[in-house]
């Protein structure tokens, strides 16, 4: 059921951007509400049949933290797990000082 769309031509650019922001926020809110309601309905249905919703869907596997493989000796807060793109501090250090990334292994 879609309500009649208002005449958007009368709004300025900034008003339309504001309106879009409000609409996007409402969409996210409504989506979360509908997900929660559906999850509750599924939980109730599972309970009626003698099951727990987690038994049916399974619990999500929690991933452990990936250990740090590389650390900056000059600033120990700079770390990298070796996954993803090489961080700027390591790329700059290997390029400027001519050292290998293996020199930063923990």
Query: Where along the chain do its domains lie?
Result: 10-57, 70-104
The model's pLDDT over 56-99, given as tens digits with 9 standing for 90+, comes to 887 777 778 889 999 988 888 999 999 999 999 999 888 887 78
pLDDT score at 63: 79
Residue 98 exposure: Cα atoms within 13 Å on the Cβ side: 0
* 24-30 mean pLDDT: 96
What pTM, to 2 d.p., does this model score? 0.47
Q: What is the pLDDT of residue 106?
A: 87
């Amino acid at each position: 059921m879609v309500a009649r769309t208002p005449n958007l031509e009368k709004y300025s650019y900034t008003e339309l951007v504001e309106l879009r922001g409000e609409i996007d926020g409402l969409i996210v809110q409504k989506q979360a509400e509908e997900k929660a309601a559906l999850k509750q309905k599924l939980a109730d249905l599972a309970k009626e049949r003698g099951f727990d919703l987690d038994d049916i869907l399974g619990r999500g596997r929690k991933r452990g933290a990936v250990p740090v493989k590389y650390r900056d000796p000059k600033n120990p807060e700079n770390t990298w797990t070796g996954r993803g793109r090489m961080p700027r501090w390591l790329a700059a250090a290997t390029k400027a000082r001519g050292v290998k990334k293996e020199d930063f292994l923990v």
